[in-house]
Each structure stands twice: as C-alpha cells, then as structure tokens.
Structure 1
Amino acid sequence: MGLSYSGEVALVTGGAAGIGRATALAFAEAGLKVVVSDLDSAGGEATVGLIQAAGGEAVFVPCDVTRDAEVQALMQQTIAAFGRLDYAFNNAGIEIEQGKLADGNESEFDAIMNVNVKGVWLCMKHQLPLLLAQGAGAIVNTASVAGLGAAPKMSIYSASKHAVIGLTKSAAVEYAKKKIRVNAVCPAVIDTDMFRRAYEADPRKAEFAAAMHPVGRIGRVEEIAAAVMYLCSDEAAFTTGHALAVDGGATAI
C-alpha cells in the first residue's frame, strides 16, 4: 500500500491484543520491523510470537504510557533494537465508563484522561524528535467516533478522544513542513476484548451496538488496521491532521 519495505520500523502501543495486535501483524506482514508495547507483557510477547512465527521481525517493550521515563525508555529501546523509527501507532487506551456525567467520579476521570490523553501526548512528545532526526515519518493516534460528536453515558471517554483529535490536528500543523504526518483513526464499536467486557454481559447491549451501525454489524480489528496502514502509506502523502472515521456509517446518521 505504498509503504517501502527496506528496513522501516513501526511502533505500536497497546499491541497486546485487539486493534493494536492486528495492526502490529499488518505492519509485519507488509515487511516492516515492529516494536510492540503494552502493559500486558504476556499479550505483548504473544503478539511478537505471532509475528516471528510468520517470519517477521519484532520485539516487545513493556511500557506504561502515562510515565514519562517509561515512554522515553520505549523510544530508546526502539532505536537500540532497530536503529530508527518511521511509523508510530499510539493505540494504548483505557475503556469507557458507562453512566451519565453526574454519576461519574474523579478517579475514573483521572484514569481515563491519564491514559488516553497524557499517554498519547507523551508518546508523540518523544516520537517526534526521532522522526525529525529521520527526516520524515507518520504518526497515527487512536481516537474514536466518540471524539467526533456526543457520546451519552461515556462523557469522560468522549472528552478524552476529542482531546486526542485536538492533539493530532495541532501536531499535524506544527510538523507538516517537516515531512511528518499526524492523523487519527476513529473506530466505532469494534469486536475486541474491550467490547466484550462492555457489552456482551448483556446481549441486548451487544445487539444495540451492532444496530447503531448502518451496515448492521460491529467492526473487525483488521478493518482498523487497514485504515492505519493507509494513513501511514504513500497513498496518504497529502493527508495530515485528519480524523478518519471507520464506523460502518455511524457518523453519517
């Protein structure tokens, strides 16, 4: 898809499962070397194992994206392992709350904002100098359709994803002339462990989640991975500061 395969390196946070794992596998299948990062070491190592079993190159680096020193160490270990960084998919995130705004609590607010907003900010803060030194690159951040409009009963999560889009657009403009593109992918409901925890305990909620998409189903992780690959590809060379909805038509309603 326009990516050249002569030793490029991709970093995926939140790579232990779901969208992150699918994207790490897609990068590796395209011929890139992949750094997989997550708090879940077992899941992250399993992702690396899948890549290596398919003949790809990957390493796992544990990282809490809310901690500056750990994010710095992640970038240092990326360079130590592969000597460069070309693409970053900042996907680590915490799941939604489920309740009206007045029913939320401060610890829930702090946890969601710390991972979803501070984590993305710290990753970009330490990725951008590497991309500047490289002379080009692309960053994709995981936002959400909840960051494109209202999200009843998940107002904190929605606010965090609106913030991710704000970070994305601001960085895109700041670094556009440096040949660094920054975009966001905005999934609707995707079949992940997070979805199952949130919805599958109540089959009615799962049915509602499918029905909210005009296509009549929830999304697949591979479909989000494909969007990330496009945003990193040469075909997207004129695309920066964009929040790409991959949502089965949900935001068209």
Structure 2
Amino acid sequence: MTTNMMGRVAIVTGAASGIGRATAMALIADGARVMLADLDIAGLDPILADARARGGDAEAIRIDATLEADQAALVAATLDRFGRLDCAVNNVGGGDTGVGICDETLEGWDRTVRLSLTATWLGMKYQIPAMVAKGGGSIVNTASMAGVRYSPAAAPSYSAAKAGVLHLTRYAAHAHAEEGIRVNSLSPGLTATTIVERMFTLDQQAAIAAGGQLIARAVQPREIADAIVFLCSDRSAMITGTNLEVCGGAR
C-alpha cells in the first residue's frame, strides 16, 4: 500500500516484534523516518539493517514504555535525531491469559494496566506537545478486540486496560483536535504474532477465528500495519477519535 509518508517522522513503540515490527517496516517502506523503541534493543537490529539496506532512515532506542522518564527521552531523542515528530504508534501492551475476575492477582492487574494503558497515556503526554510545536500530527494507539467485547482468552485486567485505551483515544482526540492532532485506535483481532503462536496451536487459532469472526483465519501483522500506516497518513485526514477494528469481521 502506498501512502504519502515520504519524509514524515514516526515513533513506533514495541517495535521489535509482531505488530510493532510490521508497522515499523511498513512505515519505512513508505518513506517515513522512524524511531524504533523497545525494551528488547537487540530485536531492533534486523529492522535497522533492513532499513539501511533499502535506503531507509531509522534509529533505535531502548525504553521501558511504562516509565515516564523513558517516554520523555524517546521524544527528545526523536526530535534530536530527526528534528520533528509527525506521527506516533503506541503499540506496547500485554497481559496474563487464563485468569478470571476472582483469581487474577493485584500484582498481575497492576502490571497489565501499566503496560497496556498507562504506557499509552505516557506516550501521548510527550508526543502531543512535540506535534503541536510543528503544527499537528497523528497518533495511533493499539487497542484490542478484547477491549471492545468479552474474550474468554483475555484476562480482566487486559480487557479493562484495552477498553481504557479506546476511551483515552477518544478523550485525546477531542481535547487536542483544535491543535491539529488526530488520535485514533486500532483493535486487532486474533493476530499471528509469535506471542499468539506460543499461546495457541494453529488448530486452536483456526477454531478461535472460525468461532469469532467472518473471515476464518488469523490476521497477519502486515495487515494490521497497513491499517496503521493509513491512519498515520493524510489519506485519513478526516478520521479522528475512531477505533478501527481489524479482526476479519467480529461475529
């Protein structure tokens, strides 16, 4: 998919694997200059090597997205390296599976909410002023279909945190529209990432997809990435405060 991302500067958190990796590579392929951020700094090396081999422009930084100082440092490093910030993809998240309301621990709840909701807020706290300074920008927050509807595979903390991302996105979109900031979220369905592959066999993935969506297969990370690139680009100039469900058609 070709967009008008040439020369734009983007941040992608959680860029070392899965949806984050696919998104970073798609943005670079479409001409964006990308700051890759992840706790797994070594996991960013193959993306950097691929970008440079293709003539792309990318840099990497190690951050813990749940730490305010690291989120501030990420934006500062982006401005220092590229001089501006046009779009940001807040893609960090995760949580336990196979636990319910009565057996999830407070420690697990707090960890998941920090990773799947607080990290998104901290990212926007520093991204928005940087975008306002250059006249506007676009933010895409990775949510989840588990935040849209009940999923027995998701812990209550993860479902609640991702539902929080949906409303936080709408809040930010309303609060900063007059400053030229667009904010949208994207809710993937079952996606064929390495994390999902560790959780479910191929047969289990097929059964989950067949039971929960109209297109009976797992979503590929690149299919999520293409939608994110669209939301980052001017082709979605009149879309803000919206949650895009990329899930094969939820039943």
Query: TM-score band, normalised by the shorter chain?
Result: over 0.9
**Alignment pair present for 1:235 and 2:232:** no
Superposed displacement of residue 210, structure 1: 2.7
- Partner of 1:150, secondary structure, is coil
**Alignment pair present for 1:39 and 2:39:** yes
Distance 2:203 2:103 in 1: 22
Q: Match of 2:236, as an amino acid?
A: A
Superposed displacement of residue 208, structure 1: 2.0
Question: 81-90 or 228-237: which moved more?
Answer: 228-237
Residue 171 of structure 2 aligns with which residue?
Answer: 170
Identity %: 39
Superposed displacement of residue 204, structure 1: 4.9
How large is the RMSD of aligned CA atoms in angstroms? Answer: 1.3
Instruction: Give runs of aligned pairs for residues 71-110 of structure 1, distance below 5 A.
Output: 71-110=71-110
Q: Match of 2:204, as an amino acid?
A: K
Residue 206 of structure 1 aligns with which residue?
Answer: 205
Distance 1:2 1:190 in 2: 23
Distance 2:191 2:161 in 1: 18
Distance 1:197 1:47 in 2: 22
Distance 1:243 1:22 in 2: 20
CA contact (8 A) 2:206 2:218 kept: no
Residue 130 of structure 1 aligns with which residue?
Answer: 130
Q: Evaluate the alpha carbon distance shift between residue 4 and residue 115 of structure 1 in structure 2; reply closer, same or farther with a 3 A threshold.
A: closer
Unaligned runs of 5+ in 2: none
Residue by residue, what CA displacement relative to the aligned partner does 1:180-230 show, whole Å, maximum 9, x if unpaired?
100001000000011112213xx5532322323221100000100011011
Superposed displacement of residue 249, structure 1: 0.7
Question: 43-52 or 214-223: which moved more?
Answer: 43-52
Unaligned runs of 5+ in 1: none
Distance 1:218 1:145 in 2: 13
Distance 2:216 2:66 in 1: 36
TM-score (structure 1 length as normaliser): 0.94
- The 4+ residue runs of structure 1 with deviation greater than 6 A are none
Q: Match of 1:242, as an amino acid?
A: T
Residue 121 of structure 1 aligns with which residue?
Answer: 121
Q: Evaluate the alpha carbon distance shift between residue 230 and residue 128 of structure 1 in structure 2; reply closer, same or farther with a 3 A threshold.
A: same
Residue 50 of structure 2 aligns with which residue?
Answer: 50
CA contact (8 A) 2:205 2:218 kept: no
Question: 101-110 or 167-176: which moved more?
Answer: 101-110
Q: Match of 2:15, as an amino acid?
A: G
